Amino acid sequence: MSGASSSGGIRAALSYCVQQVRRYDYHHYLCLLELPANMRKAAFALRAFNVETSRAMDVASDPKIGLMRLLWWQEALDKIYSDKVIEHPVAQALTSVVSEHKVSKSWLKRAVEARINDANRENNDIPQTVEELERYAEDTTSTLLYSTLQAGGIKSTAADHAASHIGKASGLLLLLKSLPYHASRNHQFSYIPAKVAEKHGLLVHQSGQSEIKKDSREALCDAVFEMASVANAHLQKARELAGSVPAEARPVLLPAVPVQVILDTLARVQFDVYDPRLARGILGAPPLLFQLKLKWYSWRGKY
């Protein structure tokens, strides 16, 4: 392949990544636009990879097909890091980014493996503690931030710690926001831990199995509030580290802004994940207000 055609192929692959993130992860698309130009290529490729893996189970008509897609990505990462050609635009973009920026394979493998483990769970296999969901959020969401920082050549323990907290908060809140979808698809609240459910009277034991009641809206709101409080604590810890985070790392941590927006929206609807206002605008906020808030944080060098 000539240099010109190879370059054109990479540009087309990156354009595809940008469009995928814009279509399926719009609030993070807006965050990535605030990054310096030299960091956007890697950031969009990494986010598009997340779009592919996070949607694998949702777009499949059969869970087995979704799992096969995740396993395909697990194998694809091995090929990407062996510099083998893969006929998939996101894989092509990732190959270019990995070659140029030396992004650690371990973060991406960890993300895929966490989703594979989640896909292998039975519907009635409820996580026991919030800590289990925090680990899942770190594996699938914080790793994206670690990889983006690494691609930008940013080495900072404080930035990594802040990224860990922001990823955990973001991951937890997106799981909460998706509770109605998963309940309708799997007939179960798959992401409410048993200990939280039991505390709020949502846990039912039948035929040796545990299920979470779906007919108690008030108790569900209380459970969501408890989990959202954990996410909020992570956000506050991340922001407490801001003084130690290098200025060049702060744009990477702008996903803290949508975390705050989801928390504000949940509070406005009394933590009722079935309230239709959660689905309006961008994470429940008017689009212009969301973009102004994001711009304000970016301009101030905050997150």
Domain boundaries, the chain: 1-120, 123-302
So what's the pLDDT on residue 211? 81
Question: For the whole model, what pTM was predicted?
Answer: 0.94
Confidence of residue 5 (pLDDT cuts 50, 70, 90): very low
Q: Is pLDDT at 60 greater than 60 in this prediction?
A: yes
Confidence of residue 4 (pLDDT cuts 50, 70, 90): very low
Higher-pLDDT residue of 122 and 138 is: 138
Dihedral class, residue 298 (left if φ above 0, else alpha if ψ from -120 to 50, else beta): alpha
CATH 3.40.50.150 fits 123-302, yes or no: no
Confidence of residue 187 (pLDDT cuts 50, 70, 90): low
What does the alpha-carbon distance between residue 47 and residue 234 come to, in Å, rounded to a whole number? 21
What does the alpha-carbon distance between residue 259 and residue 172 come to, in Å, rounded to a whole number? 10
Mean pLDDT throughout 220-239? 98
For residue 226, count other CB atoms closer than 10 A to its CB: 17
**What are the C-alpha distances in Å from 146 to residues 23, 25, 140, 163, 250?**
23, 18, 11, 7, 13
So what's the pLDDT on residue 61? 83
Q: Which of 34-48, 121-135, 167-181, 270-284 has the lowest mean pLDDT?
A: 121-135
Q: Is pLDDT at 282 greater than 60 in this prediction?
A: yes
Residue 92 · residue 1 · CB < 8 Å: no
Q: Can you list the positions of beta strands (E) in the chain?
A: 203-206, 209-212
Confidence of residue 192 (pLDDT cuts 50, 70, 90): very high
Mean pLDDT throughout 30-57? 97
